[in-house]
Amino acid sequence: MVKQELSGKVCIVTGAGRGIGKAIALSLAEAGGYIICVSKSEESCSAVAQDIQIRGYSAEHIAVDVSSLEAVSVACKSILGKHSTVDILINNAGITRDNLMLRMSQQEWQEVLNTNLNSCFYWTKNLLHPMIKKRWGRIINMASIVGLVGNFGQANYAAAKAGIIGFTKSIAREVASRGITANAVAPGFIQTDMTSKLGENIVAELLKNIPMKELGMPNDVAETVKFLCSQGARYITGHVINVDGGMAM
C-alpha cells in the first residue's frame, strides 16, 4: 500500500484501546487516516490517540459505551459536528461472557449481543447517510471464526458474530451502488487480553487445530483491515476474510 493512501479519510475505530483495535488504529494512522479512537474507558482510548500523535500521525479519542444506542448517537452527532463526515467505520469493540448454554444467564447473553452486534447497528445507522452523500465509504465489522463454526461455551458470542456476518452482507448489498463497501474480518485466535484468560492447556489444545501452529498477532488482523480500506479493495464487498492461520479453511 502507498503510505499515505488514507490521507484525508476520517476513520472511527471502536475498541481501539487495546489489542486488535489498537493495532488497527495505528495501522490506519500510518496510512494517513485521521483516527477517532473509541473505547469504553477514557484511559485506554486517550492513551492510544496520544501514542498515534507522538508518532507524528493524527488522532483524537472519545470514550463511548458502544452497547448503548443513546451514547453512540450522541458521539456520532459530536463527531459529525466536528468533521462533517466519517469515511471509514471499523466496528471492532467486543467482549466475551463465556458459559455453557445450560448455565448462561440472560445478562451474559444480552451484554454480548449488545456490545458485539447491536453496536454495529448503532454506529452504521448513524454514519451511513453521510457516506452515501459522499458516495464513498468503508465499513469493516469484526466477526470471528466462532461465528462460522460455533464454539463450546460461547453460544452468545457465536450468535453475535454470526449476526455480524449476516448484517455485513445485507448492508453490503444495500449500499454497493453508492461507492461503499462492507466486509467482515473473522480472526481465529489472536494474542490479546481477550485470549490471555485462556489456560495453557486450552491454548495447547487450540494449537492442535491451527495448521500454522501459532496464535495470530493483532497486526495480522490490522493489515487485513488496512487492505480492505484501500483502493485496491474497491471491488471487494459482502465478504468475510478469515485471519486464522488456516483454522477454519
Candidates 54-62, 64-72, 128-136, 170-178 — which segment interacts with ligand NAP by CB under 6 A? 64-72
* Site residues (CB under 6 A) for ligand NAP, limited to 77-106: 92-95
Other C-beta atoms lying within 10 Å of the C-beta of residue 16? 33
Enter the C-alpha cell of residue 8: 484525508
Alpha-carbon gap, residue 207 to 227, rounded angstroms: 27
By the rule CB under 6 A, 67 interacts with ligand NAP = yes
Contacts of 170 (CB under 8 A, 6+ apart): none
Shortest Å, Cβ 22 to ligand NAP? 7
Cβ atoms within 10 A of the Cβ of 129, count? 11
Contacts of 211 (CB under 8 A, 6+ apart): 245, 246, 247, 249
CA dist., res. 217 & res. 23, Å (int): 9
Does 115 participate in binding ligand NAP (rule CB under 6 A)?
yes
Is residue 235 annotated as part of the catalytic site, yes or no?
no
Binding to ligand NAP, residues 174-203 (CB under 6 A): 187, 189-190, 192-195
Nearer to ligand NAP, 115 or 237 (CB): 115
Q: How far is the CB of 133 from ligand NAP (least distance, A)?
A: 27
Pick 17 or 33: Cβ nearer ligand NAP: 17
When the beta carbons of 58 and 68 are compared against ligand NAP, the nearer one is 68
Q: C-alpha cell of 48?
A: 492510544
Cα 68 to Cα 71, 98, 110, 198, 237: the distances in Å are 5, 21, 12, 28, 27
* Helix/strand/coil for 128: helix
Taking CB under 6 A as the criterion, which residues in 25-44 touch ligand NAP? 39-41, 44
| 194 Cβ contact partners less than 8 Å away, ≥ 6 residues apart | 19, 94, 96
**Using the rule CB under 6 A, is 168 a contact of ligand NAP?**
no
Which of 142, 159, 172, 247 is in the footprint of ligand NAP by CB under 6 A?
A: 142
DSSP character at residue 232: G
Q: Please report how close the Cβ of residue 52 comes to ligand NAP at its closest, in angstroms.
A: 14
Q: How far is the CB of 216 from ligand NAP (least distance, A)?
A: 7
What are the cell numbers at 40?
Answer: 469504553
Out of 6, 12, 20, 222, the residue judged to bind ligand NAP by CB under 6 A: 20
Q: Which residues are catalytic?
A: 157
**Contact residues: ligand NAP, CB under 6 A:** 14-15, 17-21, 39-41, 44, 64-67, 92-95, 115-116, 142, 144, 187, 189-190, 192-195
